[in-house]
Amino acid sequence: EAGVAQSPRYKIIEKRQSVAFWCNPISGHATLYWYQQILGQGPKLLIQFQNNGVVDDSQLPKDRFSAERLKGVDSTLKIQPAKLEDSAVYLCASSLGLSAGKVEQYFGPGTRLTVT
């Protein structure tokens, strides 16, 4: 079974530029998550999709961050314009769904973003 795919793996941009990250979840996984992980911290949930609908985007800085999952499969996270404090690893995860019970999230390798 293929895992969660993310690209690019690394990105260096200047502040005020734009950047986009792509994620392809595990086939059949209805729920997709984008996390931001700043060095030395745990992951912070940015947005959670159930199929192509947003379940939780309460911690997404909506003035500069946007995400979409138009066909309920792969997803794109965009930052426009980037700030220095956006330097972090952006992790994508997927899980089967939100049915009762444990939620086993599978993570991609992440995209390391450096904003200079």
35, 36, 82, 108 from 41: Cα distances, Å: 12, 10, 20, 18
- Rounded CA gap, 35 and 43, in Å? 6
Interface with another protein includes 25 (CB under 8 A)? no
Shortest distance in whole angstroms from residue 51 CB to another protein? 14
Give the residue among 63, 72, 76, 64 at the shortest CA–CA distance from 23.
Answer: 76
Q: Which of 12, 51, 56, 116 binds another protein (CB under 8 A)?
A: 56
Give the residue among 112, 107, 81 at the shortest CA–CA distance from 8.
Answer: 112
Q: Which of 42, 53, 70, 71 binds another protein (CB under 8 A)?
A: 42
Q: By C-beta, is 14 or 104 nearer to another protein?
A: 104
Q: By C-beta, is 15 or 38 nearer to another protein?
A: 38
List residues binding another protein (CB under 8 A).
Answer: 4, 40-45, 48, 55-56, 91, 93, 98, 100-110
